[in-house]
Amino acid sequence: MAEPTTTEPIRVLLVDDQQLIRLGFRLVLEAEPDIVVVGDASDGIEAVSAVGAAPPDVVLMDVRMPRMDGLEATRRIVAEHPSVRIVVLTTFDLDEYAFAALRAGASGFLLKDAHPHELTGAIRAAHGGDAVLAPRVTRRMLEMFGDRLPADAAADARTRDLTEREHEVFIAMARGLTNAEIGAELFVSESTVKTHVGRVLAKLGARDRVHAVILAHRLGVVPRDSGRPG
């Protein structure tokens, strides 16, 4: 008789210079059966050290902190531990530091006053490879650093290698849809979508989903005002 399989909980590191915020996030996350808080840090230096000692699955990273800010900490962690996902915490949804952290490799960002279900959803999404960005956020990213991405001609050439279904997934990603939403729209399973997303990233040479979204908008494969359904 086969042994039952168990899913390991998502290991999360909390990084914020305010102890009360760390405590609040910990209380929310520890109530979830599939998430475990493995530690916390009060600045970027402590965060880099903690990740180096025992890499978590996801880091909730504050942007503005003393000694080393979240931007620099994100750069270092992504460079040394590319499998670690980082969700940036910010007070303002158009925070330039947060957008720079996305460019440095963060999987997305979350407002500090987010509802508990948004917090847990963001962690699960990042862990699962999703990076959901609202159209307003995507447009702001394009304005801030879209011109620093690879030339359009090179990226355009790579899109020709996409199959018809991969191109559909690429456009859906650019619209900010999650893997589950893409699967529902294209009538395929979420695991199939994950496979297509991986192939899209590989063929485009995109570092992550955020990078692919920006490339899609620069190439004009999706209207600038296109967004999530509903």
User: What CATH class is the domain 10-128?
Assistant: alpha beta
Q: What is the pLDDT along the chain (230 residues), one digit of tens a residue?
A: 444 445 889 999 999 999 999 999 999 999 999 999 999 999 999 999 999 999 999 999 998 898 999 999 999 999 999 889 999 888 876 667 777 887 788 888 888 888 888 889 889 888 877 765 655 566 666 666 555 555 555 666 778 889 999 999 998 888 778 888 899 999 999 889 989 998 998 888 877 777 787 778 777 776 555 555 54
CA distance 69 to 95: 14
User: What tokens does 157 get?
Assistant: 């050439």
Q: Judging by DSSP bridges, how do beta strands 35-41 and 10-15 pair with one another?
A: parallel
Phi/psi for 86 (5° steps) reads -120, 125
Cα distances (angstroms) measured from residue 36 to each of 1, 6, 26, 108, 188:
30, 15, 9, 20, 31
Q: Which CATH number fits the domain 141-219, given the four candidates 1.10.3090.10, 1.10.10.10, 3.40.50.10440, 3.40.50.2300?
A: 1.10.10.10
Largest Cα separation within the chain, whole Å, is: 58
Distance of CA 124 to the CA centre of its chain: 10
108, 87 contact by CB (below 8 A): yes
- Per-residue DSSP letters for 152-174? HHHHHHHHTTS-HHHHHHHHHHH
DSSP 33: T
Domain ranges of the chain: 10-128, 141-219
Residue among 43, 85, 80 at smallest CA distance from 64: 43
